[in-house]
Structure 1
């Protein structure tokens, strides 16, 4: 596709071997079933939506099932598979590495996989869930992992999951409608006030789904130190400057109601095109691309979101 230009940083792969392992373990994705996926289906979706490159990752439930040994083997196989399809279709598929982390107090296997994925496989970065067990990113328990990622100047894609507290909420609709957004928001605010971004400045953190609800509540977050002195005593301007250190994707967040808020918070060069395919479904993906393209933000801003900003993180896809 000679004229394809979009780079999608939030798209999920579901290899047959992963799907079967999850089903055998009784693990299900957020929407209750696995959508159809194959590299060939992905290429058709890309052709239909002017997408040059997909940066794939494995969505919830990730590797939060089975024994840790089984999770490590499955994560390794997924990472090697992501590289294989990238080699078969050069420039069309990249990948965020999957890490076999189940317990936030046991990160050794995750650190081992970081080394293999980034040093040997040369993957584009790492995917982390916003929370593991009861702990959100930003908690000190994750510092050994952050030190490793910071040392490698890694790109880290943060994707929501179901926190145990979310699973207890008695609501009749699927949790991914709102709980995913809150999971990301909680992690981002925890990272903000733990100064994770300041302490690990070499990591490029991408927040899924436009940062959850973070853009909408950003002023409340920024003014909170003036209300509660237990928080770091940063000014409103300092908090907003720290929020601009995150990168944000547009997955399932393509309209003026969300993007208008996001553009008040995110740095213009840190907003990235994303679809959340195939989890978003065919209709959701097409509508997402159409709505984003219809935003009245100017050709230069569209070009940056669609491709230019991602090339700052992944320059190898410029060719």
Structure 2
């Protein structure tokens, strides 16, 4: 998200109010999305006055990792507010030894790499870096503090992690079809049906197979593997050239026949390789993962190869039939049909 616009499906600035303001809601959301404190450290959440941090993780030796949230639209509004928080943290080093300070913001920082009139364009990222360097030079107690920024894109990544569906709904009123939501809907359906439903009265519907496919259930995966195995088992064998070469075929006819045989055998061989590869992939499909597009493309390729091989086989059969017909058809001694020769034969 850049400059306060929507990030993916979420617009951070549409967050619901909490404790009287959107600012407090965003602060609470960031706190809930925080990472775990290092082993042995404790997390302390503050309230105003907060000494420059919304919460901090504290080690047994007194070192602290502080976190500050700024619900603003862009870097221009961020810098003065962040500067005040950094100054407060520096003043309080004797009481709270913050050695790392992370700012959480609901936007991404533009970072241009082009030049205008031969000079590099100074974007929001560079302005932030320059301001951090200035704070470390000029503000008391700040020189050795690591100052970092966690932007809107990283926040979104955390919010979309499994288990945060309830937070998405609470803060943004966006329903997330997570596993717990689906389980709840199933419980509601079971309660409504009560004793009117029994396994003996179950009616199988086509939609069940669609749901199995969407969920990549064990039943669907077993059926997928069985289909792939059936395809491998159905691959046709290719007889040797000596067995299919027509006995009555003359020398001139053998070259095109051999070419057709090569086309057929090559198509069948490649199609068999494709079917075996499909089977291998089908066996690796697991919950939440299936390369459906790649598998569909591979299956279509197998079908095309078999179609070409089948066409070559039909042409070979035509050549064989013609050769057999020529071998069984009697010719007059001089090779020409006349009324007399017809009477003789």
TM-score (structure 1 length as normaliser) = 0.28
Greater length-normalized contact order (CA 8 Å, ≥ 6 residues apart): 1
User: Which structure has greater helix proportion?
Assistant: 2
